[in-house]
């Protein structure tokens, strides 16, 4: 059995209470590791160290170019260890090795991209309307950033936050999900090898209401960057507001994937399957509401069910497995309860709808890929996030109705549009209220492409050039170059 400690000031340290909790392998249902349970005292240690590294340590005197070079070295080390890191992630979250390995091979790009941006952070000279002054802006790092992440893509989602934070000159304390802490503790060891000074990147593991709350409320954390459920995001936003901290939130969704009669139906079916069954539906951008135009409804549903029935379930480490287990036991129970809700609401079960008992699923937390037809958008199964392999299909007549149904949601993270009409593609991408709209594709992300939610799907954007600004504060400097003293009782 592996035991994992906290990572503070470049070293593995046990929690002060010496308490550890279990981490489960979702494929076997067995405990495979013990993880340190941090309390507020451990959090204070980590934040103090990060604050020292930010304000006094070598990190604070490095040039932005030096920071960027370290990030490049780190990217190379992640690429070197991608297979090992992905294997640990699969053990913890049960997602397919192919998916996690793909992510880990892509993660270096975040460090290359933001490493390259580090020395391109520039202020402005202000063309003042007043004579005798020179004015300019400086962009200064915020300080210690609290990074709180969920279980579905532990290292990739952490990279989305820490790459721009480090490029900006901040230091970080990471609180990974209590369900998937192990891979982050391997990952942070690479920072030392790359040459980062100790204390720049720290990890405290533990529970949200204990370690997470302490991190959010600590007076020295200046920004909270969070990915997770909308309910936790709202709690964090309230806590952070008490101290006026900067906050960015990447929350859940109930994304519409909309298929028009003029689409290439085979491509659209492929996109629908990828939208809901990839990652066993455990992705914030899951296309969990499939909107299908009336005239092609029967044909499309038949193609979709036929393809979905071919999906191979089983060991996530096998290269031919397509659907793995659900990551956590509570999530498994939550998904099953939503299947019951949908049945009771009168949605028509087209396939699945039960625990998977196939021999290749062993004792893992598997649920059959599930499709409900004739769903009404007012049903709970169409309005609430399930975060599992459960699809709701909703009919629509025309473009106007598709837009109305798509936007009838408190979420607005992603949306897919399948059409061969270029005008319609533009109209739909303008009218849909979501942070991302994919046309004739689904579930594509890039370090360059801004990502985040409208409405209750979040605040702020990750990825792309603008993300780095959310780790910076603007200072405006005024220098008197010769203006005469003025009446002290009036504004200049
Ligand atoms: P969660 O909100 O329960 O937990 C996320 C993290 O927050 C964990 O590290 C947890 O320990 C911590 N936490 C919990 N309560 C806290 C508190 N009071 N203060 C501080 N930290 C606290 O979410 P989860 O169950 O780990 O992840 C699944 C959810 O995340 C889904 O709803 C999904 O939609 C969402 N998600 C969103 C995105 C996105 O980019 N928008 C990506 C992945 C997952």
* Local confidence pLDDT in tens for the 492 residues of the chain: 999 999 999 999 999 999 999 999 999 999 999 999 999 999 999 999 999 999 999 999 999 999 999 999 999 999 999 999 999 999 999 999 999 999 999 999 999 999 999 999 999 999 999 999 999 999 999 999 999 999 999 999 999 999 999 999 999 999 999 999 999 999 999 999 999 999 999 999 999 999 999 999 999 999 999 999 999 999 999 999 999 999 999 999 999 999 999 999 999 999 999 999 999 999 999 999 999 999 999 999 999 999 999 999 999 999 999 999 999 999 999 999 999 999 999 999 999 999 999 999 989 999 999 999 999 999 999 999 999 999 999 999 999 999 999 999 999 999 999 999 999 999 999 999 999 999 999 999 999 999 999 999 999 999 999 999 999 999 999 999 999 999 999 998
Distance CA 347, CA 344 (A): 8
Q: How many helices (H) and strands (E) does the chain have?
A: 17, 23
CA-nearest residue, atom 26 of ligand 1: 150
DSSP for 308-332, written as a single string: HHT--BS-TTSTT--B---S-HHHH
Within 137-253, residue ranges assigned H as helices are 154-168, 182-187, 189-194, 213-217, 230-242
**Strand-pair category, 348-351 with 370-373:** antiparallel
178 C-alpha vs ligand 1 centroid, how far in Å? 10
CB distance 175 to ligand 1 below 6 Å: yes
Region of 387 please: left (phi>0), alpha (psi -120 to 50) or beta: left
Question: At 68, is the secondary structure helix, strand, or coil?
Answer: helix
Specify the ligand 1 atom closest to the Cα of 235.
Answer: 18
CB distance 151 to ligand 1 below 6 Å: yes
Selected catalytic residue, list 89, 99, 178, 250 = 250
CA-nearest residue, atom 38 of ligand 1: 284
Distances (CA, A) of 44 to 58, 241, 324: 21, 20, 38
The residue whose CB lies within 8 Å of the most ligand 1 atoms, and thus the one to mutate among 229, 287, 434, is: 229
CB distance 237 to ligand 1 below 6 Å: no
Place of tokens 């809901």: 276
Place of tokens 């309910």: 231
374 C-alpha vs ligand 1 centroid, how far in Å? 31
250 is catalytic: yes
Give me 86's structure tokens.
């992905």
Q: 333-371 as b/e, with b when 16 or more CB fall inside 10 Å? A: eebbebbeebeeeebeebbbbeebeeeebeebbbbbbbb
Question: At 289, is the secondary structure helix, strand, or coil?
Answer: strand
400 C-alpha vs ligand 1 centroid, how far in Å? 34
Q: Based on the number of CB atoms within 10 Å of its own CB, is 263 exposed (0-12), middle (13-18) or buried (19 or more)?
A: buried
Q: What's the pLDDT tens digit per position in 96-120?
A: 999 999 999 999 999 999 999 999 9
CB distance 248 to ligand 1 below 6 Å: no
Place of tokens 């390259």: 116
Number of other residues whose CB lies within 10 A of the CB of residue 122:
8
Question: For helices 64-80 and 108-117, what crossing angle results, to 10°?
Answer: 170
Region of 7 please: left (phi>0), alpha (psi -120 to 50) or beta: beta
Please choose, from the candidates 387, 42, 378, the residue with its C-alpha nearest in 3D space to the C-alpha of residue 206.
42
Asked if 413 and 284 count as a contact pair (C-beta separation under 8 A), the reply is yes
Asked if 434 and 276 count as a contact pair (C-beta separation under 8 A), the reply is no
List strands edge to edge, sheet with 2-4: 2-4, 30-36, 20-25
Helix, strand and coil percent figures for the chain, each rounded to 5: 40, 25, 35
Q: What pLDDT sits at residue 253?
A: 97
107 C-alpha vs ligand 1 centroid, how far in Å? 20
Please choose, from the candidates 212, 201, 126, the residue with its C-alpha nearest in 3D space to the C-alpha of residue 159.
201
251 C-alpha vs ligand 1 centroid, how far in Å? 8
CA-nearest residue, atom 10 of ligand 1: 208
Q: What pLDDT sits at residue 202?
A: 98
The residue whose CB lies within 8 Å of the most ligand 1 atoms, and thus the one to mutate among 156, 161, 228, 335, is: 228
Distance CA 101, CA 50 (A): 30
Specify the ligand 1 atom closest to the Cα of 252.
Answer: 34
Give me 218's structure tokens.
């600590």
CB distance 250 to ligand 1 below 6 Å: yes
Give me 110's structure tokens.
């975040």
Q: 281-296 as b/e, with b when 16 or more CB fall inside 10 Å? A: bbbbbbbbbbbbbeeb
Give me 326's structure tokens.
């659900």
Selected catalytic residue, list 284, 361, 456, 462 = 284
CB distance 411 to ligand 1 below 6 Å: no
């Amino acid at each position: 059995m592996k035991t994992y400690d906290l990572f503070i000031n470049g070293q593995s340290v046990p929690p002060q209470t010496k308490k550890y909790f279990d981490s489960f392998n979702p494929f076997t249902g067995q405990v495979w590791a013990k993880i340190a349970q941090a309390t507020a005292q451990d959090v204070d240690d980590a934040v103090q160290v990060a604050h020292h590294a930010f304000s006094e340590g070598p990190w604070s005197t490095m040039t932005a170019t030096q920071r960027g070079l370290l990030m490049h070295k780190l990217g190379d080390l992640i690429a070197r260890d991608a297979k090992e890191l992905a294997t640990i992630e699969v053990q913890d979250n049960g997602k397919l090795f192919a998916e996690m390995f793909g992510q880990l091979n892509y993660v270096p790009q975040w460090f290359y991209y933001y490493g390259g941006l580090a020395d391109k952070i520039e202020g402005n000279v202000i063309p003042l309307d007043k004579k005798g002054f020179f004015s300019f802006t400086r962009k200064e790092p915020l300080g210690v950033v609290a990074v709180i992440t969920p279980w579905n893509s532990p290292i990739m989602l952490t990279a989305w936050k820490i790459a721009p934070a480090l490029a900006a000159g901040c230091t970080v304390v990471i609180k990974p999900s209590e369900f998937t802490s192990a891979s982050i503790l391997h990952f942070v060891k690479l920072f030392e090898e790359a040459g980062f000074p100790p204390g720049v990147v720290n990890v405290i593991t533990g529970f949200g209401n204990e370690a997470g709350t302490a991190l959010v409320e600590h007076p020295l954390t200046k920004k909270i960057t969070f990915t997770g459920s909308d309910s936790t995001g709202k709690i964090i936003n309230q806590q952070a507001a008490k101290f006026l901290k900067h906050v960015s939130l990447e929350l859940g969704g109930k994304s519409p994937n909309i298929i028009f009669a003029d689409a290439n139906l085979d491509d659209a079916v492929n996109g629908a399957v990828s939208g809901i069954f990839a990652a066993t539906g455990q992705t914030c951008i899951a296309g969990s509401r499939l909107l299908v135009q009336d005239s092609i409804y029967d044909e499309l549903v038949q193609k979709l069910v036929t393809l979905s029935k071919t999906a191979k379930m089983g060991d996530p480490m096998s290269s031919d497995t397509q659907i793995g287990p659900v990551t956590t036991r509570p999530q498994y129970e939550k998904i099953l309860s939503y299947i019951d809700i949908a049945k009771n609401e009168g949605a028509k079960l087209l396939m699945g709808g039960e625990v998977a008992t196939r021999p290749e699923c062993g004792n893992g937390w598997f649920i059959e890929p599930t499709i409900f037809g004739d769903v009404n958008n007012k049903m709970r199964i169409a309005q609430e996030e399930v975060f599992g392999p459960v699809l709701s299909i909703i009919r629509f007549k025309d473009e106007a109705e598709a837009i109305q149904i798509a936007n009838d949601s408190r979420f607005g993270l992603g949306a897919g549009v399948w059409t061969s009409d270029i005008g319609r593609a533009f109209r739909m991408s303008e009218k849909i209220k979501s942070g991302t709209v994919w046309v004739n594709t689904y579930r594509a992300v890039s370090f360059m492409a801004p990502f985040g939610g409208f409405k209750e799907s979040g605040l702020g954007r990750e990825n792309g050039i603008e993300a780095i600004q959310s780790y910076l504060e603007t200072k405006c400097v005024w220098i008197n170059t010769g203006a005469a003293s003025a009446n002290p009782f009036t504004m200049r």
